[in-house]
Structure 1
């Protein structure tokens, strides 16, 4: 494909759509791969896929292969789903929660997300879903953004306690955060300090991208 070839030289935008939730959704050929972006940041594939792959590798692919249910809060184009299914060869159930139906439409059209049989997609607000779900999960991946903004509820102690309560023994939370200023650094350190040390361990991973910091929480069995 000629667009893919030329994308090694310059990014080639092939799709752009306005969305009520995400404002702008763009699909671009970049360095030989399709990526999904909002107006100001990468939403799926590209740098985001590298970041979340790094977090999954830190948890351990062998551990992930033994899990039976993974929850993804914030699906976008589904790059982390592709990492789980294609690279790690995870075979069990994945539930993906995405608030923006336009995003899912684009993910299905350009990234074939609807062809992944073990993936159940739910159009819902992450906060509302976490309150309602009766399931427990081995891994909860939190990747919720509105362009470069992260909703405040993600960092509230109530939400932290709720997602921690949804973990099975020896389960993990992988939380992708964006750091744009010192206030965000303070916010992340406060978040870590509020994790219950009797039941959970929490750590920040060294950054591999300038503005993204991963937090991993593990429920001690």
Structure 2
């Protein structure tokens, strides 16, 4: 494919669609790899896949393989789902929640997300879904962005408590965050230091791919 070869020299944009949620969604060949981007940041594959892969590696691939049900809040192109299925060989159920239906159409068209049989995609707001679901999960991955902006609800105690409530015994939350300035650095530090639930261990994986920090919340029992 000529676009793939040329992308080692210059990014080749092959698809763009406007999005009410993320301004614009682009599919681009970059360094021989097909990636999904919003207007100002990488949404799937590329650096984002490397970031979340590191988080999953920190949790432990063997631990993840033994899990039954994983929830992904913020699907985009589905790169973390591909990592779970193709690399880690996770065979359990995956529920993906994505607010933007246009993103899922692109993910199906360019990244074959709809070919993953164990995946159930739900078009919904992550906050609303967390309030409604009756399921319990072994791993909850939070990767919710609107371009470079993280919705405020992600840092609210009510949301965090509800997410933790949805964990099964010894379940884990992997929370991907973006840090672009000192105010956001302080926000993350406050979130981690004020997390005072004795039933959970909290740690961070700082400065992944320069602007990202991963927060890992593990249920002790």
Indicate the TM-score class for this superposition, using the shorter chain for normalisation: over 0.9
Once the two structures are TM-superposed, the CA of residue 135 in structure 1 deviates from its matched residue by 0.6
Aligned residues: 221
Once the two structures are TM-superposed, the CA of residue 186 in structure 1 deviates from its matched residue by 1.0
- Unpaired segments of 5 or more residues in structure 2? none
Q: Which runs of 4+ in 1 moved over 3 A?
A: none
TM score, norm. by length of structure 2: 0.98
Does the 8 Å CA contact 2:208/2:214 hold for their aligned counterparts? Answer: no
The equivalent of 1:139 in structure 2 is: 139
- Aligned partner of residue 206 in structure 2, secondary structure: coil
Output the aligned Cα RMSD. Answer: 0.8
- Please list, as runs of the form range in 1=range in 2, the aligned pairs for 1:20-35 lying within 5 A after superposition: 20-35=20-35
Does the 8 Å CA contact 2:206/2:212 hold for their aligned counterparts? Answer: no
- Aligned partner of residue 26 in structure 2, secondary structure: strand
- Unpaired segments of 5 or more residues in structure 1? none
Counterparts of 1:9 and 1:76, CA distance in 2 = 26
**2:105 is equivalent to residue 105 of structure 1:** yes
Indicate the larger mover: 201-210 or 145-154: 201-210
Once the two structures are TM-superposed, the CA of residue 195 in structure 1 deviates from its matched residue by 2.4
Once the two structures are TM-superposed, the CA of residue 20 in structure 1 deviates from its matched residue by 1.7
TM score, norm. by length of structure 1: 0.98
Once the two structures are TM-superposed, the CA of residue 197 in structure 1 deviates from its matched residue by 3.8
**2:11 is equivalent to residue 3 of structure 1:** no
The equivalent of 1:199 in structure 2 is: 199
- Aligned partner of residue 173 in structure 2, secondary structure: strand
- Aligned partner of residue 208 in structure 2, secondary structure: coil
